[in-house]
């Protein structure tokens, strides 16, 4: 068998070709059976019990970015997004299905989408990307992840591979909405319209449970094909009744954060070939450039600093109690009527949000990219506060913050978002009328 890799040294690309005399790494054991009536799943997760722990798998994608990085691969890689209740997994195998009879079995590698320095919940499920290199040019239909080559799998994920000819710029990814009782519908409309004006042509929401008015807003935009929604259930064996779900997520902070990770990566891989940038945001956050929109900002950053895996905007609080009403702005517009902010930005790197490059990022976390194709790791660059900031609309600081009172005392008026008001006000009004929220 002939293999090759490309190595780029000092700008010159060499191709190294060698022959493999050893046994082909992809074997085709007769014992693998196509899993059919044995699948175990919940709404979100496919479940595989193994001697290394229980896998809960979300989705699988074919990643053909194999030419990036120092070494290039000959064939695409399957990425499986899953949780495992073991922080140090042993090896797994991918049973790669071309059809029912035709299988290749390949050992997987993995990366943990968390950091050893962060808060841990060691006994809980951990987020991983499991990777399996496909052995030849055929496009797989399904993949099953198992602990032993010949296991009869209880999971079978469709390998998603949807190429399009040109990429759009920005898709916004929103972690699992979990507001069973809060009617945040009007604020959500304003936020959707604002990030659209800034440059998002799609917003992908993950969703636990939401108030019925919020559901109406989501349906409205989904029907217009401006947003997409993926329902979520909790990882592990917990009740998904809305109140119990919300209680679990509220009371188990680290466990909540651990399960926020995979949806961002599901979003990254869903839009890998369709969008240039993944923008991870919560619905109380907006990245607002000092001038222009997101596209202008990225053009400027690329011209000045070149490409990076992620460009990140600094966090700045706009507190709810600092209302600034202005004649022509309807009172229900939260963002437009809150233009007083803390003077001081959160420290560099804290609570940042940004733009993640789909040509380069292999796995990301809420705030930054964690695994990238370059051998040097991920390049997370900060966007200067003279160019853009991450406006965070909250009633209070995040709990861990100590200097909150000080932040609330020293404030400045910052009306940069009013640049969008001429377009934003009528758009929000139209949506609210369509939704029968206002007369």
Ligand X SMILES: *[C@@H]1O[C@H](CO)[C@@H](O)[C@H](O)[C@H]1NC(C)=O
Residues of the shown chain interacting with ligand X in the complex, contacts defined by CB under 6 A: 199, 237, 292-293, 295-296
Q: Which is nearer to ligand X, 26 or 234 (CB)?
A: 234
- Closest distance to ligand X from the beta carbon of 201 (Å): 7
**Which strands make up the sheet holding 315-319, listed edge to edge?**
285-289, 388-394, 315-319
Q: Which is nearer to ligand X, 198 or 361 (CB)?
A: 198
- Closest distance to ligand X from the beta carbon of 299 (Å): 9
Tell me if 368 sits within 8 A of 300, measured CB to CB. Answer: no
Q: Which is nearer to ligand X, 295 or 366 (CB)?
A: 295
Q: Which is nearer to ligand X, 68 or 293 (CB)?
A: 293
Q: In sequence order, what E strands does 212-272 have?
A: 227-231
Give the pair of three-digit tokens for residue 221.
């935009």
Question: 423 in helix, strand or coil?
Answer: helix
Q: Phi and psi dihedrals of 83, rounded to 5?
A: -110, 145
Q: Phi and psi dihedrals of 136, rounded to 5?
A: -155, -170
- Closest distance to ligand X from the beta carbon of 195 (Å): 10
Q: Which is nearer to ligand X, 296 or 434 (CB)?
A: 296
- Closest distance to ligand X from the beta carbon of 230 (Å): 22
Question: 248 in helix, strand or coil?
Answer: helix
Q: Which is nearer to ligand X, 240 or 293 (CB)?
A: 293
Q: Is the dihedral of CA 136, 278, 174, 343 positive or negative?
A: positive
- Which of 432, 430, 428, 417 minimizes the C-alpha distance to 337? 417
Q: Among all chains, which residue has been given the structure tokens 């590698």?
A: 109
Please give the Cα distance from 234 to 111 (Å, whole number): 21
Please give the Cα distance from 219 to 39 (Å, whole number): 31
Interstrand relation of 369-372 and 361-364 (parallel, antiparallel or unpaired): antiparallel
- Closest distance to ligand X from the beta carbon of 13 (Å): 35
Q: Which is nearer to ligand X, 89 or 199 (CB)?
A: 199
Q: Which is nearer to ligand X, 223 or 237 (CB)?
A: 237
Please give the Cα distance from 105 to 99 (Å, whole number): 13
List of residues 6+ apart from 140 with CB closer than 8 A? 62, 78, 96, 97, 98, 134, 159
- Closest distance to ligand X from the beta carbon of 428 (Å): 16
85: number of Cβ within 10 Å: 17
Give the pair of three-digit tokens for residue 2.
């002939």
- Closest distance to ligand X from the beta carbon of 294 (Å): 8
List of residues 6+ apart from 351 with CB closer than 8 A? 315, 367, 390, 392, 398
Q: Which is nearer to ligand X, 30 or 237 (CB)?
A: 237
- Closest distance to ligand X from the beta carbon of 225 (Å): 16
- Closest distance to ligand X from the beta carbon of 283 (Å): 19
Please give the Cα distance from 226 to 360 (Å, whole number): 25
């Amino acid at each position: 068998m002939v293999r090759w890799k490309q190595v780029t040294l000092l700008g010159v690309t060499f191709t190294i070709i060698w022959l493999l005399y050893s046994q082909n790494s992809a074997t085709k054991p007769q014992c693998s059976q196509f899993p059919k009536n044995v699948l175990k799943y919940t709404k979100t997760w496919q479940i595989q019990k193994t001697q290394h722990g229980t896998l809960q798998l979300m989705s699988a994608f074919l990643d053909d970015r194999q030419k990036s990085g120092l070494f290039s691969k000959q064939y695409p890689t399957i990425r499986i997004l899953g949780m495992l209740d073991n922080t140090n997994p042993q090896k797994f195998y991918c049973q790669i299905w071309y059809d029912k009879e035709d299988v290749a079995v390949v050992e997987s590698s993995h990366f943990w989408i968390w950091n050893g320095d962060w808060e841990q919940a060691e006994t809980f499920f951990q987020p991983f990307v499991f990777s399996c290199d496909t052995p030849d040019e055929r496009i797989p239909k399904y993949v099953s992840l198992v602990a032993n080559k010949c296991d009869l799998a209880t999971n079978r994920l469709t390998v998603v591979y949807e190429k399009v000819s040109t990429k759009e710029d920005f898709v916004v990814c929103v972690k699992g909405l979990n507001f069973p009782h809060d009617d945040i519908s009007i604020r959500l409309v304003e936020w959707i319209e604002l990030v659209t004006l800034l440059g998002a042509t799609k917003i992908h929401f993950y969703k636990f449970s939401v108030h019925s008015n919020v559901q109406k807003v989501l349906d409205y935009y989904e029907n217009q094909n401006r947003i997409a929604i993926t329902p979520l259930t909790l990882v592990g064996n917990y009740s998904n009744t809305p109140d119990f779900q919300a209680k679990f997520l509220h009371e188990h902070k680290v466990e909540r954060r651990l399960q926020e990770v995979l949806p961002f990566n599901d979003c990254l891989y869903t839009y890998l070939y369709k969008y240039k940038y993944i923008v991870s945001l919560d619905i109380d956050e907006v990245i607002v450039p000092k001038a222009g929109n997101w596209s202008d900002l990225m053009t400027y950053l690329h011209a000045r600093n070149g490409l990076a895996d992620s460009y990140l905007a600094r966090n700045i609080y706009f507190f709810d109690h600092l209302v600034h009403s202005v004649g022509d702005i309807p009172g229900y517009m939260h963002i437009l009527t809150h233009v007083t902010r803390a003077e001081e930005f959160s420290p560099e790197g804290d609570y940042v949000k940004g733009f993640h490059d789909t040509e380069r990022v292999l796995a990301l976390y809420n705030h930054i990219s964690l695994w990238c194709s370059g051998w040097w790791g991920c390049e997370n660059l900060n966007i200067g506060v003279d160019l853009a900031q991450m406006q965070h609309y909250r009633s209070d600081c995040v709990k861990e913050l100590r200097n909150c009172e000080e932040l609330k005392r020293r404030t400045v008026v910052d009306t940069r978002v009013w640049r969008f008001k001429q377009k934003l006000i009528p758009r929000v009004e139209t949506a609210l009328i369509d939704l029968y929220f206002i007369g």
